[in-house]
Amino acid sequence: MTQPRGSAQQSAAASAALSGAVDLSAVKARAEASQPSSGTQGGGASAGGAAVVEVTEANFQAEVVDRSMRQLVLVDLWADWCEPCKQLSPVLEKLANESGGSWGLAKVDVDANPRISQLFGAQSLPTVVAIAAGQPVDAFSGVQQEPQLRQWIDSLVQAVQDRVSGGGQPVEEAEQEPEDPRFTEAETALEQGDFAAAEQAYQGILDSEPNNEQAKAALQQTRFAARAANVDASAVAAADSAPDDLDAQFAAADYEMARVDVEAAFTRLINAVRRSSGDERARVRDHLVELFELFDPADERVARARRELASALF
């Protein structure tokens, strides 16, 4: 079981959130664009500092970005179909209600708000991201026990207290590196849903810097996002009714991966490997490896799936 821990040992989802590529202003800007001039939809920042708040893109700015300038905010990424979420979320809510206002809990239904989940690079559920002064400071994935959660949260509240007083800016802001305009171009294209332009921008970076790991990872994510944008829930039923249709299996696996049902996507393609041979088997293997590359190589789900793939192949 993954434990809350420092950035050097975080899960793939947490590492993505803390890599410096997370720009909370992206959701903030979309929320502002969708608001009527008369006020904020979905509720503004809680006047009394409600301990637990349901967050959507509409109130993300107020309840996560702005609020994190005043206190630590934990973003709980969950889904109704996620059984581990049903174990973790009540514990987080209990601790938030007992916190005396020292921190707030922002609950995000990833099915209703997929862009927020994508923003944080969540690869599994539940994922919890700690935000202070408008920036992610720590994260974990999986179910945690109350004593470990309490200790983790208490340490974070102490660690960020100098960064979240009176709406101040991060104390290390002056030391942050300037944004790379090449990545900004690609990220802007992604925000606009122009996957082709984003892919071209990331590929341009790699053409001049073949070893740029950030660009490599972003290119893989972009290609996956472009595929996943074209499939919906019907893909799973179609694949289940036609197990030998490889294109149907690929579409269903992409849909499951986009819903953060990682093990289901891996299992589907490993079973397809077992049923196929020759060139068709190679196609399935290649698609599966592409999904592996969306994760940290040390992710235990990838390691387990690689072992199962090897067994299926040999």
Mean pLDDT (whole number) for 155-177: 62
Mean pLDDT (whole number) for 80-93: 93
Mean pLDDT (whole number) for 241-256: 95
Burial class, 80, CB count within 10 angstroms (exposed 0-12 / middle 13-18 / buried 19+) = exposed
Asked if residue 1 belongs to a domain, the reply is: no
Indicate if 215 and 251 belong to the same structural domain: no
Indicate if 201 and 161 belong to the same structural domain: no
Indicate if 294 and 195 belong to the same structural domain: no
Tens digits of residue pLDDT in 100-115 = 989 999 999 998 888 7
CATH of the domain at 147: 3.40.30.10
Percent of the chain past pLDDT 90, that is, above it, reads 44
Of these ranges, 141-150, 162-171, 214-223, 266-275, the one predicted with the greatest mean pLDDT is 266-275
Residue-level pLDDT at 175: 46
Tens digits of residue pLDDT in 300-313 = 888 999 999 999 98
Indicate if 205 and 108 belong to the same structural domain: no
Query: 194 catalytic, yes or no?
Result: no
Residue 161 vs residue 91, higher pLDDT: 91
Q: Is the pLDDT of residue 239 over 50?
A: yes
Range of the domain at 214: 181-228
Mean pLDDT (whole number) for 19-41: 44
Indicate if 119 and 248 belong to the same structural domain: no
Asked if residue 146 belongs to a domain, the reply is: yes
Asked if residue 269 belongs to a domain, the reply is: yes
Query: 112 catalytic, yes or no?
Result: no
Residue 135 vs residue 21, higher pLDDT: 135
Verdict on whether the full-model pTM lies above 0.85:
no
Residue-level pLDDT at 163: 77
Among the listed residues 73, 82, 205, 248, the single catalytic one is 82
> Is residue 164 within 8 Å of residue 104, measured between CB atoms?
no
Among the listed residues 12, 85, 128, 228, the single catalytic one is 85
Q: What is the mean pLDDT of the chain?
A: 80
Indicate if 264 and 162 belong to the same structural domain: no
Indicate if 166 and 188 belong to the same structural domain: no
Residue-level pLDDT at 63: 92
Indicate if 114 and 224 belong to the same structural domain: no
Asked if residue 2 belongs to a domain, the reply is: no
Indicate if 222 and 281 belong to the same structural domain: no
> Is residue 309 within 8 Å of residue 285, measured between CB atoms?
yes
Indicate if 17 and 164 belong to the same structural domain: yes
Tens digits of residue pLDDT in 179-211 = 788 888 988 888 788 999 999 999 999 999 999
Per-residue pLDDT band for 247 (boundaries 50, 70, 90) equals very high
Q: Is the pLDDT of residue 251 over 50?
A: yes
* Lowest-confidence segment of 23-37, 195-209, 246-260 by average pLDDT: 23-37
Indicate if 158 and 20 belong to the same structural domain: yes
Indicate if 46 and 120 belong to the same structural domain: yes
Percent of the chain past pLDDT 70, that is, above it, reads 80
Split into its structural domains, the chain has a count of 3
Mean pLDDT (whole number) for 55-67: 89
